[in-house]
Amino acid sequence: MIENPTRHKMNEAYHFISIMKNTFEDDDIFSYNLSAFLSAARSITFYMQKKYKHRDGFPAWYCLQQIKMDKELELKYLNKARSEDVHREPVKIGATRERIITGKARIVPAKEPETDVEILEKNELTYTPQKQISPKTVRRFFVDFKDTDVMEFCENQMLKYKILVAECEQKFLNNTGIVRN
């Protein structure tokens, strides 16, 4: 039995961040886990409200928290992204990839006597590709939110939720995990 659904939902969101880190290179699997993260993260406050709504002081405390959260552009985007992902289409994300190409180059001065290489004018560079390495994903970003880095965004939102949940538990939960009356 899950004693603290709010914390359980928060841990679920962290779980999806972990999977996103481990599947960073795979576009589809990363997208699936981003979708799951958005749903889990957005549900943290819903679970919190359900668990504590009848506790003395919670409605007033939570109302103040909602006012603060409504001013947070990133939390607003989190809600928008979750709604878009659940009801319309996957959230648009882009990827920055880098590709490493190795090769040999030789610079031949224009006045050098002919050898086994073609004489080039004006010290032009010759290049022969030796090996191409598949592109590596180095960054993922939200297309519709100021090109914000996806991983940084997710981790920043979880830090906000972690603080919120800790404060809520401190005010409305006793040391044994039992909800205070």
pLDDT at 145: 80
User: Per mean pLDDT, which range of 45-54, 55-64, 107-116, 127-136 is the poorest?
Assistant: 107-116
pLDDT band, residue 122 (cuts 50/70/90): low
Q: Which residues of 107-124 are buried (b: 16+ CB within 10 A; e: fewer)?
A: ebeeeeeeeeeeeeeeee
pTM over 0.85: no
Query: Is beta strand 125-132 parallel, antiparallel or unpaired with respect to 136-142?
Result: unpaired
Could you read off the pLDDT of 124-138 as tens digits, one per residue? Answer: 555 555 666 778 888
- pLDDT over 50 (residue 181): no
Phi and psi for 128 in degrees, rounded to 5? -120, 110
pLDDT at 156: 95
pLDDT at 180: 47
Could you read off the pLDDT of 144-153 as tens digits, one per residue? Answer: 887 789 999 9
- pLDDT over 50 (residue 103): yes
pLDDT band, residue 5 (cuts 50/70/90): very high
Query: Is beta strand 93-98 parallel, antiparallel or unpaired with respect to 136-142?
Result: antiparallel
Length of the chain, please? Answer: 181
Secondary structure of residue 79 in the 3-state scheme: helix
Report the distance separating Cα 120 and Cα 125, nearest Å: 8
